[in-house]
Structure 1
Amino acid sequence: MRRAHHPEAGEITLTGVMAALSDPIRVGLVRVLADGRERGWGELQAPVAKSTLSHHLRVLRDAGLTRTRQEGTRCFVVLRREDVQARLPGLLQAVLAAAEEDDIGRQVSVKGAERPA
């Protein structure tokens, strides 16, 4: 399998990040990953087809918001919080706070985790 491209921290752009965060599913994925834990793609639940979830994860990766690691046939993803903070200070915190307040991305969760009421 081909190696995934991850932009360097200096290549992360405001417009790229904002475009990636223009979809509620992607905002939900960022909310789930904001706990700092690396997650297997199979752990992530969203009300979309697996191929669509894969697309959303690729958009986040291409924008520099996440890092994907492959181990055998499994893929794992983690939020690049430090890189985004270094390049765009305060942006991620503001997005996460607004998403929480406006309840954006609530439909995304981790398998086995209790969904918020």
Structure 2
Amino acid sequence: MSYYGPMDADRTPDHPDLREVTLQRVLEALVDPVRRSIVTQLATAAGDISCGGFDISVSKSTATHHFRVLREAGLIRQHYAGTSRLNTLRRAEFDQAFPGLLDAVVTADRASA
């Protein structure tokens, strides 16, 4: 067991069951350009990204709000590795619940950039 094992589990935020997430909630989360950028960066990343590793131009507290909205809408999963909070796109689960939506969002976001 790693040094951070039990503490990491205690710090991991709750994540919604995607069967309980509505399309309305997802679309409200994705309407913001900063949140779409976060989703796009995760969709094109080779792995998890720490909260400070995103190319977004907002304050730390505002970024924290955006991550919370995305997590509560079921789009991302957050977990700790040591002292870093990492973010993962819930791609497989999300594609099953809302087929094609992530691809459409990422394609549109990249086209508008």
What secondary structure sits across from 1:4 in the alignment? coil
Match of 2:87 in 1: 77
Tell me if 1:33 matches 2:59.
no
Query: 1 CA distance for matches of 2:89 and 2:107?
Result: 16
| Structure 2 counterpart of 1:9, from 13, 18, 32 | 18
Percent of residue pairs identical: 41
In structure 1, what residue type is equivalent to 2:77? R
Structure 1 residue 73 displacement after superposition: 2.6
Across the aligned residues of Structure 1 and Structure 2, the Cα RMSD in angstroms comes to 1.4
Q: Give the TM-score taking structure 2 as reference length.
A: 0.83
Deviation at 1:3, TM superposition (A): 3.7
Runs of 4+ in 1 over 2 A off after TM superposition: none
State the partner residue of 1:43. Answer: 53
Counterpart mapping for 1:62-73 below 5 A:
62-73=72-83
Normalising to structure 1: TM-score of the pair?
A: 0.81
| Paired residue type of 1:24 | P
For 1:72 and 1:99, the matched residues in 2 are separated by 32
The structure where helix makes up a greater share of residues is 2
- The superposition leaves residues 7-59 of structure 1 with CA deviations (integer Å, 9 ceiling, x where unpaired) of 11212221111000010000000010002521111212311101101110110
Tell which deviates more after alignment, 17-26 or 94-103.
94-103
1:56 maps to 2:66: yes
Gaps of 5+ in 2: 1-9
Paired positions, count: 103
User: Which SS does the other structure have where 2:40 is aligned?
Assistant: helix
Choose 1 or 2 for highest CA Rg. 2
Q: Where does the alignment leave 5 or more consecutive residues of structure 1 unmatched?
A: 104-117
